[in-house]
Amino acid sequence: MRRPIMIRAAVKGEWALDYNQALEKLAVYDQTHLLKYYGELDDGRQKELLEQIDGTDFSVVKNLNHRESGTERGKITPIVSMEIDEIEKKRSRFEDLGLSAIQKQKVGAVLLAGGMGTRLGSDEPKGVYNIGLTKDLYIFECLINNLLDVVKKADAWVPLFIMTSDKNHERTTEFFKEHDFFGYRKDMVWFFKQEMAPAVDFEGKVFLETKSKISTSPNGNGGWFVSLARNGLVDKIHEIGIEWLNIFAVDNVLQKIADPVFIGASIDSAVEVGAKVVRKAAPDEKVGVMCLEDGRPSIVEYYELTEQMKEERNEKGEYAYNFGVILNYLFSVSALERIMSRKLCLHIVEKKINCLDENGNEIKPQEPNGYKFEQLVLDMIHELESCLPFEVVREKEFAPIKNATGVDSVETARELLKKNGMVL
Ligand code: UTP
């Protein structure tokens, strides 16, 4: 008779699977090679490996089989965005609404900092990168400064939740402590870890990072609310009375966080999510664009836009798919709770993954050598009933740091910061 496969998560120091149970669990997913070096390991490292096998959900690797089929999309049509001229006319009313929500502690901010930032090429968490020229100016510091502008204006603190992963949690939390939270109130900051997923080679075999460690990577930014809940922080959100969560990426050093005007506009429009968007630089710019999909809010990737859609015009004579998202959203907490048990689709992304070579030596590849599995925030949008795309001026609010040089890099972000009057 087959023994049941243990799926309880391993808690450090408690039981894990024994060798045979681990072998049996791995056999189901064709991953028994992960025990190849088991015999060479000392007791402690054997236990570590068994615990990791116990705690890892290997079912995601089955998604590789569906890679070719892609996800079926519904009917894509344009969505109406709130553009700058309208925002300017209503600015003071929106701002008052937003400031009042902040003062009543109805708004929290969530920094998504669990990513690996591999394109930047630093082994450190992206937020500890120093972009200063004549003085130290860390990415985390820039973001906290941006949030402090609002704190000062509202004369109220915005609860801040920071998502990290197993890969960068310790360094991130230590860094904030070393820098005294860059002047932010410590008791207004909560760190939480996101989940991890195994990484595979192009044939679907999970990598070993060392002889006793499976190669895992953060499972994308789409699981942030589930991770908040798993870490007990949704209770905290209720305790404080937070009704809106502004999530934002670690890499946009120019963005406004908990922007009262954006908050006010979203509340006033009674939507389930507000999305900051920028006007596309060209019809074929490589950004995800806000749209409707089967009548519900959604984001269409640049490579999914047909030539006809790229050229389509609205009644104003402007491009119909003209506003790209910048990973700055304001979600209603009650809407998030309604959708949190829904499964988001898994994206399979080619990445450089540290692994062992055929001789068991640890290597850091220079080129993508396999796939990671990620859930993405943008798929949450389609689960919601309504969305307000809210236009912001690109040069004032969008300076992403993805690469060390070239497009969306430290260099381009520095230029934009300088243009906005920052001394570097
Ligand atoms: P990116 O798409 O830039 O991914 O993340 P990344 O992993 O950080 O960078 P590359 O592709 O390896 O260079 C956009 C935002 O989502 C966060 C990132 O930290 C960033 O703020 N993110 C991404 C997470 O919080 N968790 C993840 O698993 C992935």
CA of 374 to the centre of ligand 1 (A): 10
User: What per-residue confidence (pLDDT) applies to 8?
Assistant: 38
Q: Residue holding tokens 């704190």?
A: 151
Q: Kindly state the helix (H) or strand (E) to which residue 260 belongs, with its residue range.
A: helix 260-269
Average pLDDT in the chain: 92
Nearest to 321 by CA among 351, 346, 373, 285: 285
Section 367-376 average pLDDT: 93
Locate the ligand 1 atom nearest the alpha carbon of residue 111 and give its number. 21
Locate the ligand 1 atom nearest the alpha carbon of residue 217 and give its number. 28
Backbone angles phi, psi at 231, to 5 degrees: -90, 10
| Nearest protein Cα to ligand 1, atom 10 | 117
Residue 15 has pLDDT above 60, yes or no: no
For 28-50, b/e burial (b = at least 16 CB within 10 A) is ebebeebbebbeebeeebbbbbb
Residue of 120, 140, 221 to mutate, ligand 1, most atoms within 8 A of C-beta: 221
Q: Residue holding tokens 């500890």?
A: 128
Domains identified in the chain and CATH numbers: 13-55 (no CATH), 83-272+325-419 (3.90.550.10)
* Ligand 1 and 107: CB distance under 6 A: no
pLDDT > 70: percent of the chain: 95
Note whether 246 and 330 are within 8 A (CB). yes
Structure tokens at 255: 């963005």
* Ligand 1 and 221: CB distance under 6 A: yes
Q: What is the dihedral of CA 200, 326, 287, 398, to 10 degrees?
A: -120
Q: What is the CA radius of gyration of the chain?
A: 23
* Ligand 1 and 98: CB distance under 6 A: no
Residue 334: other Cβ atoms inside 10 A: 10
| Nearest protein Cα to ligand 1, atom 28 | 220
Locate the ligand 1 atom nearest the alpha carbon of residue 349 and give its number. 11
Helices (H) and strands (E) in the chain, counts: 13, 19
Residue 358's alpha-carbon distances to 50, 69, 88, 215, 355, in angstroms, are 22, 31, 61, 15, 10
* Ligand 1 and 401: CB distance under 6 A: no
| Nearest protein Cα to ligand 1, atom 7 | 115
> Which residues is 389 bridged to in the sheet?
275
Specify the higher pLDDT residue, 134 or 70.
134
CA 394, 396, 398, 399 torsion-angle sign: positive
Which 3 state secondary structure label does DSSP give 350? strand
Residue 4 has pLDDT above 80, yes or no: no
pTM, two decimals, is 0.91
Counting beta carbons within 10 angstroms of the beta carbon of residue 214, is it exposed (0 to 12), middle (13 to 18) or buried (19 or more)?
A: buried
> Which residues is 77 bridged to in the sheet?
292
pLDDT tens per residue across span 204-255: 999 999 999 999 999 999 999 999 999 999 999 999 999 999 999 999 999 9
Residue 415 has pLDDT above 80, yes or no: yes
Q: Residue holding tokens 């004369």?
A: 155
Residue 64 has pLDDT above 90, yes or no: no
Structure tokens at 152: 């000062």
Distance CA 214, CA 77 (A): 43
CA of 70 to the centre of ligand 1 (A): 22
Residue 284 has pLDDT above 90, yes or no: no
pLDDT tens per residue across span 326-353: 999 999 999 999 999 998 888 998 988 9
Residue 376: other Cβ atoms inside 10 A: 19
Residue 11 has pLDDT above 80, yes or no: no
CA of 63 to the centre of ligand 1 (A): 21
